[in-house]
Structure 1
Amino acid sequence: MAKQKKEEALKDVNKSEGGTIQTEQETHLKENEEQPKENKGDAYDVEVEIKKDLEKESELNPAKLVEENISLKIQIEELKNQVNEFKQKWIYTFSEYENYRRRVKNEIESEVRNRISKIIENFIEAVDSIESAMKYISDENTLAGIKLIRDIIEKAMERSGAKKIDLKEGDLFDPAKCEVIDFMECDKEEDDKKIAKVASVGFEFEGRIIRPARVIVWKKKQEQKSDGK
């Protein structure tokens, strides 16, 4: 009896489990069957939305589209004008800046040249004083030392940009480079207005005469007229 009851209980359990498994399979099959329906419903909704959008686009007013197109063109032209205006302002500002930069650069360079010229003029005065003193010195050693000092000053002037004016006896007098301190009479016509002697050397700096050369110039002797007596 006990064995029979046990077998009946096992059958009941198997029936119960079999029923549960069958129910889960049926549920799974139902979900699989319903899934395509849901997907089909989503695709249908998208298609409906697209049709609605197309219908709305077809209902647009052509006149309104033309008006919007004209409005966009006007805005584009306004933006182009603004770009051109900003470009012109930038070009003007850049040109003004370049002019200002060049003007400041020229002013600075001019000021530097003027200051160097003043320094060179002071050196020239020192050289003139040394050369004047050399005329009264008889001692050879002392004279050699003073000449050395003069040469050092002249080399310093050359390093600063000063140049001696290249003049020699027999050159034609040039008032832009020379200063006449005296005249000497001559008999020859071809010697008239030529340099007889360079008393002191002239100097220039970057094409500008700092101190003209001091020279003695030949002057043709005037012929005396006889009164015929």
Structure 2
Amino acid sequence: MMQYSSDSRTVAPPHGPMSEEETGDEQPENESAVEEKPELSLEEQLSEAIGRAEKAEAEIGYRDAEIVNMRRRFATDKAELMKYSGYNLAGKILPAIDNLTKALDAAEDGPLADGVRLTKENVIQALQNEGVTPIEVGTEFDPNTMEALTTLPASEEHPDGSIIDVLESGWMYKERVLRPARVVVAKE
């Protein structure tokens, strides 16, 4: 409850005068509690500014190097994409070549077989012009370009690790394996 003084112009709180917390007027207990930053001399200010400038310059150098590296990576990736842009299409054409091969194996000699043979040769030539080449299957199994679908016991005719049969021809697209040759391998 508020108490009024006799002249009714001043109002005092019910429990005496207001404290610092109530008024919001805080007085520093000690003048040294308020730290004042000492003024730097011109040389110190200059030295500090030069330090900040050198740090900013180094940061800009790092970012410039990052940008150069990123541009180099993008250029390399773009060249790689351009180089292998026909990879998927070539892979989709290979089953057609396999079907033409099967048709030739089943066909009797004649004009129809000649037409199929010519078509197969034209498709293979077009693929070779774009960098698609058949994987040469030698006598030894190469896990980089071949896939062993099955193994058979080794013999004198087919020593361990040699190729007994080619089930599906393999193809390269430039330096990449487009489809591994699927083979039967002799194993001891």
**TM-score of the pair, normalised by structure 2:** 0.61
Task: Answer 1 or 2: higher relative contact order, Cα 8 Å, separation at least 6.
Answer: 2
Equivalent of residue 211 in structure 1, options 157, 165, 179: 179
Equivalent of residue 160 in structure 2, options 173, 188, 192: 192
1:60-84 residue CA offsets vs partner (Å, 9 max, x unmatched): xxxxxxxxxx955445434532431
Q: Match for residue 159 of structure 1?
A: 129
Greater fraction of residues in helix: 1
Q: Match for residue 131 of structure 1?
A: 101
2-structure distance, mates of 1:181, 1:78: 72
Secondary structure of 2:144's partner?
Answer: coil
2-structure distance, mates of 1:148, 1:185: 39
Query: Structure 1 stretch 116-125 or stretch 79-88: which is displaced more?
Result: 79-88
Equivalent of residue 176 in structure 1, options 139, 144, 148: 144
Structure-2 change in CA distance of 1:116 and 1:190 (3 Å): same
- Give the CA RMSD over aligned residues: 3.2
Structure-2 change in CA distance of 1:206 and 1:98 (3 Å): farther
Deviation at 1:194, TM superposition (A): 0.9
Q: Match for residue 146 of structure 1?
A: 116
Q: Match for residue 38 of structure 1?
A: none
Greater fraction of residues in strand: 2
* 1:94 partner amino acid: D
1-structure distance, mates of 2:99, 2:83: 24
Q: Does 1:77 align with 2:47?
A: yes
Deviation at 1:130, TM superposition (A): 0.8
2-structure distance, mates of 1:73, 1:102: 43
Structure-2 change in CA distance of 1:71 and 1:122 (3 Å): same
1:104-161 residue CA offsets vs partner (Å, 9 max, x unmatched): 4455456556753211111111111111111122133322222222222222222333
1-structure distance, mates of 2:158, 2:169: 24
* 1:193 partner amino acid: G
1-structure distance, mates of 2:42, 2:169: 80
2-structure distance, mates of 1:190, 1:197: 10
- Give the gaps of 5 or more residues in structure 1: 1-69, 221-229
- Give the gaps of 5 or more residues in structure 2: 1-39
